[in-house]
């Protein structure tokens, strides 16, 4: 998952943003002033910055040239009546802004959208040349999207979520197809075969007399 730096001097806001991003699975770094932020920008590999404008030591605008040079996507935090701040922030290269106070759901939606737009989004799981994005139900192989049917993706998702664990055919049938009887497990075998072919991988192992396991 993406690593996000939060630069905000107001502790309650900083902690709230951090908490929400971490609950959504992102890795976070925090800075309470512009100078601390600058140090972290220069010493870490950061995928996105949540940047407050009014900050002690160095303000948000003063950080923008460094952020632009490192090409890090940025969402600015602006005050409710700060129209000029928004305009100036966007002109200086910010990718988006959020007006304080904001709801967690808006923050997460904007973070997701900026990461997607700027190609900084990280796959939930990567192996060989395959990247799997569970939220978007998307799979890339060698950077190219693989066309999976709804059931194929659902099956892959269960295997990813339980990677390293042997999943019985009956269990897979029940979760993916919603059958609560142990018939028709051939359906599972057929879909697994198609998944293997489409992904061009031998990491979906057959477990003799049981079912399948993803080794990734």
- Which residues bind to Ca ion, rule: CB under 5 A? 9, 52, 54
Q: Retrieve residue 36's tokens.
A: 């601390």
How far out from the chain centre does Cα 150 lie?
A: 21
Cβ-proximal residue to Ca ion, closest one: 54
Q: How far is the CB of 155 from Ca ion (least distance, A)?
A: 48
Instruction: Report the residue number, 99 or 154, with the smaller CB distance to Ca ion.
Output: 99
Residue number with CB closer to Ca ion (9 or 152): 9
CA dihedral 113, 115, 118, 124 (to 10 degrees): -120
Least gap, CB of 83 to Ca ion (angstroms):
17
Supply 45's token pair: 């590999």
List, in order, residues 6 or more apart from 119 with CB less than 8 Å away: none
The CB-of-120 to Ca ion minimum distance in angstroms stands at: 25
Please state the closest distance from residue 33 (CB atom) to Ca ion, in A. 9
- In the complex with Ca ion, the residue whose CB is nearer, 54 or 92, is 54
Nearer to Ca ion, 54 or 160 (CB): 54
Q: What DSSP string runs through the chain?
A: --EEEEE-S-HHHHHHHHHHHHHTT-EEEEESSHHHHHHHHHHS--SEEEEESS-SSS-HHHHHHHHHHTT--EEEEE-TT-HHHHHHHHHTT-SEEEESS--HHHHHHHHHHHHHHTT----SEEETTEEEETTTTEEEETTEEP---HHHHHHHHHHHHTTTS-EEHHHHIIIII---SS--THHHHHHHHHHHHHHT-S-EEEETTTEEEE--
Q: Is the CB of 101 or the CB of 143 nearer to Ca ion?
A: 101
CB of 52 or CB of 152, closer to Ca ion: 52
Query: Closest distance between Ca ion and the C-beta of residue 112, in Å?
Result: 24
Smallest gap from residue 103 Cβ to Ca ion (A): 19
């Amino acid at each position: 998952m993406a690593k996000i730096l939060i630069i905000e001097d107001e502790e309650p806001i900083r902690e709230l943003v951090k908490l929400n991003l971490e609950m959504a699975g992102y890795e976070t770094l925090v800075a309470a002033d512009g100078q601390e932020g600058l140090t972290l920008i220069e010493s870490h590999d950061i995928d996105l910055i949540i940047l407050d404008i009014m900050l002690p030591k160095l303000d948000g605008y003063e950080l923008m040239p460094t952020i632009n040079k490192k090409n890090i996507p940025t969402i600015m935090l602006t005050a409710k009546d700060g129209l000029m701040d928004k305009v100036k922030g966007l002109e200086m290269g910010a990718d988006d802004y959020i007006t304080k106070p904001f709801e967690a759901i808006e923050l997460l939606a904007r973070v997701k959208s900026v990461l997607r737009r700027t190609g900084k989004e990280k796959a939930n799981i990567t192996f060989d040349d395959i990247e799997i994005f569970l939220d978007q139900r998307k799979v890339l192989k060698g950077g190219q999207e693989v066309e999976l049917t709804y059931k194929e993706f659902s099956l892959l998702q269960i295997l990813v979520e339980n990677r390293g664990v042997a999943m019985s055919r009956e269990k897979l049938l029940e979760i993916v197809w919603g059958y609560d009887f142990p018939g028709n497990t051939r359906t599972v075998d057929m879909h697994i075969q198609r998944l293997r072919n489409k992904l061009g991988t031998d990491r979906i192992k057959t477990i003799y007399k049981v079912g399948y396991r993803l080794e990734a």
